[in-house]
Structure 1
């Protein structure tokens, strides 16, 4: 049995598990905003047809300037990418043959990007249940590393680390000439907005990744960006394919930067739905990760490995995300996206039925 490496595309999960896919499913495997794309994007959608008859700006100048104004940095400190995945793989090429530390459990794409570029990969596995960053243990490893990947909020646990804790790592790594890549793909989901983006002006060893896919529910468009020192941005840009980011994506990005009310609406909705779920999990004696974002880990403590629950939910039309390819989890948890009241009602019904089995 070979399960998919990522969430979404549930038909692949059903095929891998050799289960007939029901006509009606609830897909909780992909961490996309359940509200869908904002109204502002829908309003301009017809106008975007004009972008398909001309070549896009290969340097995404207008979008870079818009992001720079929002983040308070220079446009030259920004690189636009065809989704966060492209940027991760550009960083992998840039780090070719380096010693790289990956803090787990985390997004599997970091390791894949480093593996294909002949990096020597070291795994720093956080302790289960709170997944807190042990700074003292981490600092010991930094002198041997050329780079370290940190996800904040962390995918898949949803744990959010303070900016001060991250700066302590960045500062220590800077002293050791070690690059720190902080992936903030989900930074705009928690009500408490924590980011280290302003620190790119202070630390030349820092790269901050962002994705527009998750908050604005546009995975089919593919749009992300990174922020770093100008020298690093130029070096990474050298590896990027010309016209990597299409004209529609660039225009969409400029529009989405104005969607402050949409982001706030999403944050409150996610918090409300997550808290209702966690209250149910407490009552039903499930364990879950202390998530601050739009996804969380869940497990039935009566099981070690959760495949039986994973299968039961699939048979009942509920698609979760397995954790077999997350180091430090190894199938002991399932990951779920926070969605809406209807989807959660079906999830809670299925979990209640699971608990009531003889």
Structure 2
């Protein structure tokens, strides 16, 4: 990390409502967690009197089975963002350029800058069309699938072709799959390319944002470098035990995917009576408010006890809000707050 870049950096705004009395639609987390999670956590807390097993074999095995790769390719991290930073620390040096999509997760550009590198922004709809010649000038390229905040997942074939072009150009490809678990799409871990890193998070799908559990998947020398560079004891015992438990809950994942898809379609139809709503493969919807005031929409929702995300904090968006997809009762409260009868 570049010291001069740190002094020039700023924090990035995110969703998340600290007031427990407010229904939080600003953060895209599952309102449910798998059965048995609390007991696994209690048992792990007692075992936390010892240092965690730095190898995390059970966690690696569960993560590998979840994305379809060999366990040795999994690098445990305290959340998906830690996997993103670890990858950028490995791939970037001061003066490098990184291809960053927009509108997308604001931490990508921040993390690039913290390494002393420069983000080269490209529209999210055009990112996978970038050719080998242009990629040759980039040490790193980032893809978010499904993209946050727009919600669209990358076509797996187009993504694989892009990964191949990145390899030809000598560019490391970072694929952020924080929300891919809400879909039936395959992970880019299946590519098994030595220039590709996949970042995954347990935060969203399993409703555990405070646990900080995630992992990276990589191959070859890139995998070896990430494994060497990751912090010792980077995953605490509770996170490793709960994470391994959750990753094995196939029925919970199937039920979540079905519920989110059903509710997303339902509330998108209702929201479309007042807003322009983007199609989505993710547990959230991006809404253009038109000639309404974004601040006014946020305040009216807040007055009814509902928090939604100000999406104007995303690069390229100036009249948008983002809403999460929860369970039916909560979603009905959202629609009522936004004056969109279900």
TM over 0.5: yes
Counterpart residue number, 2:187: 195
Counterpart residue number, 1:28: 25
TM-score, structure 1 length as denominator? 0.86
Q: Measure, in 2, the Cα distance between the counterparts of 1:266 and 1:167.
A: 27
Match of 1:349 among 326, 336, 340: 336
Q: Measure, in 2, the Cα distance between the counterparts of 1:67 and 1:262.
A: 16
Q: Measure, in 1, the Cα distance between the counterparts of 2:263 and 2:340.
A: 21
Residue 296, structure 1, aligned to residue 285, structure 2: yes
Q: Measure, in 2, the Cα distance between the counterparts of 1:276 and 1:38.
A: 24
Which deviations, in whole Å up to 9, do the C-alpha atoms of 1:272-305 show, x marking residues without a partner? 11111111123x23111111110110122233x6
- Asked whether the 8 Å contact 2:66–2:248 carries over to 1, the reply is no
- Asked whether the 8 Å contact 1:7–1:29 carries over to 2, the reply is yes
- Asked whether the 8 Å contact 2:268–2:285 carries over to 1, the reply is no
After superposition, where does 1:156-195 map in structure 2 within 5 Å? 156-190=149-183, 192-195=184-187
Counterpart residue number, 1:18: none
Q: Measure, in 1, the Cα distance between the counterparts of 2:55 and 2:69.
A: 17
- Displacement, 1:217? 0.9
SS in 2 for 1:39: coil
Q: Measure, in 2, the Cα distance between the counterparts of 1:68 and 1:49.
A: 24
* 265-274 vs 61-70, greater mean Cα deviation: 61-70
Q: Measure, in 2, the Cα distance between the counterparts of 1:124 and 1:217.
A: 31
RMSD over aligned Cα atoms? 2.2
- Displacement, 1:61? 2.7
- Asked whether the 8 Å contact 1:153–1:159 carries over to 2, the reply is yes
After superposition, where does 1:72-83 map in structure 2 within 5 Å? 72-83=68-79
Counterpart residue number, 2:7: none
- Asked whether the 8 Å contact 1:96–1:114 carries over to 2, the reply is no
Q: Measure, in 2, the Cα distance between the counterparts of 1:3 and 1:180.
A: 24
- Displacement, 1:218? 1.1
Counterpart residue number, 2:237: 247
Q: Measure, in 2, the Cα distance between the counterparts of 1:24 and 1:93.
A: 39
Counterpart residue number, 2:256: 266
Counterpart residue number, 2:41: 45
Which deviations, in whole Å up to 9, do the C-alpha atoms of 1:312-358 show, x marking residues without a partner? 222332211112331121x321111101222222222222289xxxx
Aligned residues: 330
* 258-267 vs 345-354, greater mean Cα deviation: 345-354
- Displacement, 1:63? 1.8
Change (3 A) 1:261 1:69: closer
- Displacement, 1:38? 0.6
Q: Measure, in 1, the Cα distance between the counterparts of 2:230 and 2:157.
A: 32
Q: Measure, in 2, the Cα distance between the counterparts of 1:137 and 1:53.
A: 50
- Asked whether the 8 Å contact 2:132–2:169 carries over to 1, the reply is no
SS in 2 for 1:59: coil
Q: Measure, in 2, the Cα distance between the counterparts of 1:70 and 1:26.
A: 30
Counterpart residue number, 1:307: 295
Q: Measure, in 1, the Cα distance between the counterparts of 2:154 and 2:331.
A: 27
Counterpart residue number, 1:99: 97
Change (3 A) 1:175 1:70: same
TM-score, structure 2 length as denominator? 0.89
Change (3 A) 1:322 1:139: farther
Match of 1:206 among 193, 196, 213: 196
